[in-house]
Chain A
Amino acid sequence: GEDVEQSLFLSVREGDSSVINCTYTDSSSTYLYWYKQEPGAGLQLLTYIFSNMDMKQDQRLTVLLNKKDKHLSLRIADTQTGDSAIYFCAEIRGGGTASKLTFGTGTRLQVTL
């Protein structure tokens, strides 16, 4: 289909790992992104992965990319209450000069004590 899909909600306990999954649609996407949105705030670029990579690690964040299945995941190690937010995956669509981002529906991460 045309939609970038994510599960809507994830609840984890503080200190556990969180894994947020995303299925994207455009196999020609050069980059795939993860954005974080806290309540009432803008979109914060968390991390991104180039399409010729399988994995990227950045401190507590690990991104895994399965191009065959068009599956992207974000793992947050040692999840903290400050990680509570909505997480959006996004793919670049179009090979034009200024390519647009197509966002998933967002996954609300709730971190409990």
Chain B
Amino acid sequence: EPEVTQTPSHQVTQMGQEVILRCVPISNHLYFYWYRQILGQKVEFLVSFYNNEISEKSEIFDDQFSVERPDGSNFTLKIRSTKLEDSAMYFCASSGEGQGPQHFGDGTRLSIL
């Protein structure tokens, strides 16, 4: 069964450094998402992406965050200058329809020191 893959599984970064989280969505999907889950808390929406542009973003997704689909397969989340509070599990998801089921990757655990 097709699946969403994320790399790396764990990223440790110094505060203030840039980090790029990578995702390969399911190949025929057109809608892409990033969510995050701070330890012990619920999953929160960050951003959705369709047709090479951001469809919606949350308050969390400030100017330090950006997303890109650099080629036909990858979908990336960049955090320019990481803060301690960015430490979380980041999940990528994709769907074939705008309101349809979203399939999630296994996540990248981001630890900011």
Q: Which residues of A approach B to under 8 Å, CB–CB?
A: 30-31, 33, 35, 41-45, 48, 88, 90, 92, 94, 96-106
Interchain nearest-CB distance for A91 vs B (Å): 11
Which residues of B lie under 8 Å from residue A105 when comparing CB positions?
A: 42
CB-nearest residue of chain B to A94:
B56
Q: Give chain B's interface residues, CB within 8 Å of chain A.
A: 31-33, 35, 42-45, 48-51, 55-56, 58, 91, 93, 95, 98-107
B90 to chain A, nearest CB (A): 11
Q: Are B35 and A101 in contact (CB under 8 A)?
A: yes
Chain A interface main SS type: strand
A101 to B95, CA, bound (A): 12
Given known pairs A96-B55, A97-B55, A98-B55, the reply for A31 and B100 (CB within 8 Å) is yes
Residue on A nearest B46 in the bound complex, by CB: A100
**Interchain nearest-CB distance for A74 vs B (Å):** 15
Given A43-B91, A106-B42, decide whether A98 and B104 contact each other with a Cβ distance below 8 A: no
Indicate whether A99 sits within 8 Å of B48 (C-beta atoms), given known contacts A43-B43, A43-B91, A88-B43.
yes
Q: Would A42 and B101 count as touching, CB distance under 8 A?
A: no
Given A43-B91, A98-B55, A100-B48, check contact A88 B102 (CB 8 Å).
no
The answer to whether A98 and B45 touch (CB under 8 A), given A42-B104, A45-B102, A45-B103, is no
